[in-house]
């Protein structure tokens, strides 16, 4: 039993307290994103509970916190509005049809994510360069910071000239603003100072409790969790235990039109969710100096989203802000994520009146400290020391994350990095030329990678018309990397033979030789198999050389 419990935690106290802290910080962010997606906050909170619990138990990264994240919520905004419109066009119009389309999309999103894990696509996160990772972290830190700045305002529902109802933000002014700023700074001060006095108390949770006590017992009129939810059109935090949503099967038309409508949104949401989850997992790996399992995390995220959709909750993924809070509070085991989910459910079921009294200022202060911890301040210091292309990638990923979309930002960063890498390597191809003693044979020793980017430079190295009758091309210091390189070699051989000259290829890799043999039988005469060069054999199979060097004939 002890061994089983250790799989979930090595430090129960830290995991339990950090889980409670994260659940408090989770509420306003999840509620805010629910308003963005125009859904009931309890739908988002239910999704956060289900996804958080499933990923905490079965995920590939202990300590990673998942919930109804904003990156995914943004994908659903257009889906829900379009779904409402489609529902009113049915023979029997159905109100709130966008919600049922949302649930179906979340389920399909989970299916995509499970497939990604089964086919081991999680490993591709290792292809994400470090500048992209820094840009991702900085961009999300800025996004979270801006989301907290919007808390210094009140929401007001207004109707536009076109008759569309929308929320506008009215900034706080005067005494209310000053009190808000003071409470935020006080919360941040407690979080900063308390660890210097004692590490036995969780700084973030203690700061939230102290600030809440000041507001409640001081009778301060400030924005609280309860007032924030009501301003956004919610009815409070009180909810019920999630149960299977039978209305989904009664109202959703199961046909090709529905699949065609939800498929693009499901795929995009699955991609965004996996990218943010896997990038957050990488960040936790660096913070804890351990390694998570990306494929297992994909499956767990998918299972969580499928259950969330079936039980009437929205979709979600890993949340970098809450994860950093959890790690900084000492949450390292699966118990921290489980505790977050259970505490969140407890708030909804039993203690809603108490949680609604927590001032928004306390939670904003916690999030501001998290932003300070998350932002890679070292990126300013290294900006002038790293290659300009890496600096550009870092900045562009941060900017696209802030102004557009996380998934697009990562894709752009990876594509730019790959193109820069290909361009730089394309310039590294070299050919050292030498003639035999009788001048009848010319040898080209090729250095550098031969791939699609270096083909043009490779072809320019040869003087086909003026070369002697016998040509040797030696690839011992080169690596033939792709089909374009094979095609270039094939064309080069044909050109020399068309001039009536003899060409031999040496030191090609076994894979390259096999492909050339399949391309044309004539390569059996062109490729030199008998190699009397110890350097080549050593490079091909270094483990075979286990005898002392003096025993080999050089």
Q: Which residue, 361, 391, 417, sits at the end of a domain?
A: 417
Closest C-alpha to 313, from 47, 35, 37: 47
**In the structure encoding, which two tokens stand for residue 74, read together?**
């943004």
CB atoms inside a 10 Å sphere around CB 58: 15
Counting every residue written for the chain, the total comes to 554
Judgement on whether residues 334 and 452 belong to the same structural domain of the protein: no
- Single pTM value for the model: 0.76
Judgement on whether residues 347 and 472 belong to the same structural domain of the protein: no
- Whether residue 227 contacts residue 363, with contact meaning beta carbons closer than 8 Å, is answered with no
Closest C-alpha to 332, from 2, 18, 5: 18
Range of the domain at 297: 2-417
Q: Is residue 423 part of a domain?
A: no
What is the secondary structure of 423-483 as a DSSP string?
HHHHTT-EEEEEE-TTSSEEEEEEEEEESGGGHHHHHTT--TTTS-SEEEEEEEEEEE-SH
**The total number of structural domains that make up the chain:** 2
Task: Give per-residue pLDDT as tens, 36-65.
Answer: 677 888 888 999 999 999 999 999 999 999
Distance (Å) of CA 326 to CA 8, 73, 172, 331, 543? 15, 22, 30, 5, 46
Q: Give residue 330's pLDDT.
A: 87
Closest C-alpha to 508, from 539, 474, 538: 474
> What's the CA gap between 147 and 371, in Å, rounded?
11
Q: Is residue 422 part of a domain?
A: no
> What's the CA gap between 129 and 471, in Å, rounded?
41
Q: Which residue, 358, 391, 417, sits at the end of a domain?
A: 417
Judgement on whether residues 482 and 391 belong to the same structural domain of the protein: no
From first to last of its 554 residues, the chain has per-residue pLDDT tens of 455 556 678 888 899 999 998 998 888 778 777 776 778 888 889 999 999 999 999 999 999 999 987 778 778 888 988 888 888 888 777 878 889 999 999 999 999 999 999 999 887 777 788 898 889 889 888 888 888 888 888 876 666 655 555 667 788 888 999 999 999 999 999 999 998 998 777 888 899 999 999 999 999 989 988 888 787 666 777 878 888 877 777 888 888 999 999 999 999 899 889 988 988 898 888 888 888 899 999 999 999 999 999 999 999 999 888 898 899 888 989 999 999 999 999 988 888 888 889 898 998 898 888 888 888 888 888 888 889 999 999 999 999 988 887 778 888 999 999 999 888 888 889 999 999 888 889 999 999 999 999 999 999 999 999 999 999 999 988 888 888 998 999 999 999 999 999 999 998 888 888 888 887 888 888 898 865 554 544 444 444 444 444 554 44
Judgement on whether residues 372 and 443 belong to the same structural domain of the protein: no
Q: Give residue 228's pLDDT.
A: 81
**In the structure encoding, which two tokens stand for residue 425, read together?**
């390597």
- Whether residue 394 contacts residue 134, with contact meaning beta carbons closer than 8 Å, is answered with yes
> What's the CA gap between 393 and 416, in Å, rounded?
7
Judgement on whether residues 150 and 63 belong to the same structural domain of the protein: yes
H/E stretch holding 237: none
Q: Is residue 424 part of a domain?
A: no
- Whether residue 508 contacts residue 501, with contact meaning beta carbons closer than 8 Å, is answered with no
Q: Give residue 431's pLDDT.
A: 92
Judgement on whether residues 409 and 434 belong to the same structural domain of the protein: no
Distance (Å) of CA 450 to CA 312, 419, 506, 507? 54, 15, 15, 14
**In the structure encoding, which two tokens stand for residue 185, read together?**
């700074």
Q: Is residue 461 part of a domain?
A: yes
Q: Residue 473: what are its φ and ψ, rounded to 5°? A: -115, 115
List the CATH number of the domain containing 543.
Answer: 3.30.750.24
Q: Give residue 151's pLDDT.
A: 85
**In the structure encoding, which two tokens stand for residue 328, read together?**
């900084």
Give me the residues paired with residue 480 across strands: 450
Judgement on whether residues 371 and 470 belong to the same structural domain of the protein: no
Judgement on whether residues 466 and 335 belong to the same structural domain of the protein: no
Closest C-alpha to 129, from 310, 315, 307, 279: 279
Q: Is residue 240 part of a domain?
A: yes
Q: Residue 242: what are its φ and ψ, rounded to 5°? A: -60, 135
- Whether residue 472 contacts residue 441, with contact meaning beta carbons closer than 8 Å, is answered with yes
Q: Is residue 436 part of a domain?
A: yes
Q: Which residue, 417, 443, 473, sits at the end of a domain?
A: 417
Q: Give residue 28's pLDDT.
A: 76
Closest C-alpha to 23, from 225, 217, 200: 225
Judgement on whether residues 338 and 448 belong to the same structural domain of the protein: no
Q: Is residue 136 part of a domain?
A: yes
> What's the CA gap between 228 and 155, in Å, rounded?
8
**Terminal CA-CA length for the chain:** 63
Give me the residues paired with residue 433 across strands: 444
Judgement on whether residues 411 and 516 belong to the same structural domain of the protein: no
> What's the CA gap between 442 and 45, in Å, rounded?
74
Judgement on whether residues 366 and 511 belong to the same structural domain of the protein: no
Judgement on whether residues 442 and 502 belong to the same structural domain of the protein: yes
Q: Is residue 542 part of a domain?
A: yes
155: left (phi over 0), alpha (psi -120 to 50) or beta: beta
Q: Give residue 54's pLDDT.
A: 96
> What's the CA gap between 153 and 360, in Å, rounded?
11
């Amino acid at each position: 039993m002890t061994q089983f419990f250790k799989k979930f935690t090595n430090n129960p106290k830290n995991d339990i307290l950090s889980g409670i802290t994260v659940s408090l910080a989770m509420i306003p962010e999840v509620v805010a994103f629910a308003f963005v997606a125009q859904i009931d906050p309890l739908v988002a909170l239910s999704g956060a509970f289900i996804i958080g619990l499933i990923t905490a138990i079965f995920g590939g990264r202990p300590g990673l916190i998942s919930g109804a994240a904003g990156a995914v919520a943004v994908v659903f905004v257009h889906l829900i509005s379009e779904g409402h419109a489609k529902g009113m066009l049915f023979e029997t119009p159905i109100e709130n049809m966008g919600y049922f389309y949302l649930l179906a999309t979340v389920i399909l999103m989970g299916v995509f994510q499970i497939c990604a894990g089964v086919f081991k696509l999680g490993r591709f996160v290792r292809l994400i360069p470090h500048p992209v990772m820094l840009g991702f972290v900085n961009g999300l830190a800025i996004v979270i910071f801006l989301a907290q700045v919007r808390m210094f305002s009140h929401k007001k529902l207004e109707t536009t000239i076109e008759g569309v109802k929308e929320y506008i933000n009215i900034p706080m002014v005067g005494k209310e603003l000053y009190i808000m700023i003071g409470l935020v700074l006080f919360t941040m001060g407690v979080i900063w100072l308390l660890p210097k006095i004692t590490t036995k108390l969780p700084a973030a949770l203690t700061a939230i409790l102290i600030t809440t006590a000041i507001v409640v017992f001081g009778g301060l009129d400030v924005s609280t969790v309860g007032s924030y939810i009501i301003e956004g059109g919610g009815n409070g935090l009180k909810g019920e235990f999630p149960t299977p949503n039978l209305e989904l099967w009664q109202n959703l038309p199961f046909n090709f039109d529905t699949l065609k409508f939800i498929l693009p949104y499901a795929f995009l949401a699955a991609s965004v969710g996996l990218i943010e989850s896997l990038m957050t997992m990488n960040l936790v790996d660096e913070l804890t100096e351990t390694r998570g399992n990306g494929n297992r995390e994909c499956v767990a995220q998918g299972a969580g989203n499928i259950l969330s959709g079936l039980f009437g909750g929205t979709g979600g993924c890993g949340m970098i802000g809450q994860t950093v809070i959890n790690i900084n509070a000492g949450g390292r085991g699966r118990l921290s994520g489980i505790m977050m989910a259970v505490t969140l459910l407890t708030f909804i079921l039993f203690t809603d009146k108490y949680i609604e009294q927590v001032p928004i200022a306390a939670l904003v202060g916690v999030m501001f400290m998290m932003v300070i911890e998350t932002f890679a301040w070292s990126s300013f210091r290294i900006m002038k020391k790293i290659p300009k292309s890496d600096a550009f990638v870092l900045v562009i990923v941060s900017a696209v994350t802030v102004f557009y979309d996380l998934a697009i930002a990562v894709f752009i960063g990876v594509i730019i990095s790959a193109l820069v890498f290909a361009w730089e390597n394309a310039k590294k191809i070299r050919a050292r030329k030498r003639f035999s003693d009788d001048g009848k044979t010319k040898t080209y020793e090729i250095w550098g990678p031969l791939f699609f980017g270096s083909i043009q430079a490779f072809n320019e190295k040869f003087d086909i018309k003026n070369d002697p009758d016998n040509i040797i091309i030696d690839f011992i210091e080169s690596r033939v990397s792709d089909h374009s390189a094979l095609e270039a070699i094939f064309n080069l051989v044909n050109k020399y033979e068309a001039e009536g000259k003899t060409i031999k290829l040496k030191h090609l890799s076994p894979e390259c030789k096999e492909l050339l043999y399949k391309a044309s039988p004539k390569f059996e005469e062109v490729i030199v198999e008998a190699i009397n060069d110890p350097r080549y054999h050593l490079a091909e199979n270094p483990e075979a050389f286990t005898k002392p060097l003096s025993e080999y004939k050089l």
